[in-house]
Amino acid sequence: MTTADNIIHFWFLEIDPKLWFKKDLNFDKTLRSKFSEVHARASKAETFEWRKTALGRLAEILILDQFSRNMFRDK
């Protein structure tokens, strides 16, 4: 199961920040394959416990805002 720490690590340590601002279909595909399940959980408020910490809140924001922009691009 994906955790808030996994999301923070991926976003800030594993990828090049240039990917945050450009259209890259391979990156979009990577996000869908790695994070679709946790996005579905977050969209149903099943990650509510993450809100107890600042990093957990940030992870939830990333999943629901930034990741969804890439995961559902052009839909």
The predicted pLDDT at position 1 comes to 83
Residue 50 pLDDT greater than 90, yes or no: yes
pTM for this predicted structure: 0.91
Half-sphere exposure of 30 (CA within 13 A, CB side): 11
- Burial label for 63, CB within 10 Å (0-12, 13-18, 19+), is buried
Which residue ranges make up each domain of the chain? 4-71
Mean of the per-residue pLDDT values for the chain?
A: 96
Residue 55 pLDDT greater than 90, yes or no: yes
pLDDT band at 27 (very low <50, low <70, confident <90, very high): very high
pLDDT band at 43 (very low <50, low <70, confident <90, very high): very high
Task: Note the CATH architecture for domain 4-71.
Answer: Up-down Bundle (1.20)
Chain center to CA of 53 = 17
- Residue identified by tokens 């800030």 is 12
